[in-house]
């Protein structure tokens, strides 16, 4: 037998049942999100392909003028590049030694 306290709650639950949100389907939501991710990836890939193609075309056109300048610049900057590489490796080795001791 139902008491008078249970009856109003049941009436209200039935009244608000129509306003409840629909049940969630995790598989459907996952598929929709995966589809959105694939679409965004395809758009990003298209833009990157176009940008790289234009960059390659511009470099191909400008390469005959740039090649002699880069060759001369490379010969004069070779000692500086070697010094920068050595400094980078010394700093990296020192940081890894210090980080290893602190851990």
* Domain around 60: 27-102
Residues 90, 96: Cα–Cα separation, whole Å: 10
Q: Is position 91 within any domain?
A: yes
Q: Is the dihedral of CA 67, 70, 75, 79 positive or negative?
A: negative
Q: What's the structural domain count of the chain?
A: 1
Q: Is position 36 within any domain?
A: yes
pLDDT digits (tens, 9 = 90+) for 34-82: 999 999 999 999 999 999 999 999 999 999 998 988 888 888 888 999 9
- Provide mean pLDDT across the span 75-90: 91
pLDDT, residue 100, reads: 61
pLDDT, residue 1, reads: 47
pLDDT, residue 32, reads: 95
Q: Is position 75 within any domain?
A: yes
Q: Which long-range contacts (CB under 8 A, 24 or more apart) does 28-33 make?
A: none
- Provide mean pLDDT across the span 25-31: 90
> In this structure, what token pair is assigned to residue 21?
């949100």
Q: Is position 6 within any domain?
A: no
Comparing 36 with 9, which gets the higher pLDDT? 36
Q: Cα 70 to the chain's mean position, in Å?
A: 34
pLDDT, residue 78, reads: 87
């Amino acid at each position: 037998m139902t008491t008078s306290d249970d009856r109003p709650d049941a009436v209200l639950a039935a009244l608000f049942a129509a306003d409840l949100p629909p049940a969630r389907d995790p598989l459907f939501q996952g598929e929709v999100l995966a589809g959105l991710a694939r679409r965004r990836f395809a758009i990003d890939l298209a833009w990157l392909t176009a940008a790289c193609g234009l960059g390659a075309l511009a470099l191909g056109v400008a390469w005959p003028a740039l090649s002699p300048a880069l060759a001369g610049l490379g010969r004069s900057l070779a000692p500086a590049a070697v010094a920068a590489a050595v400094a980078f490796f010394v700093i990296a080795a020192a940081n890894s030694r210090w980080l290893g001791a602190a851990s």
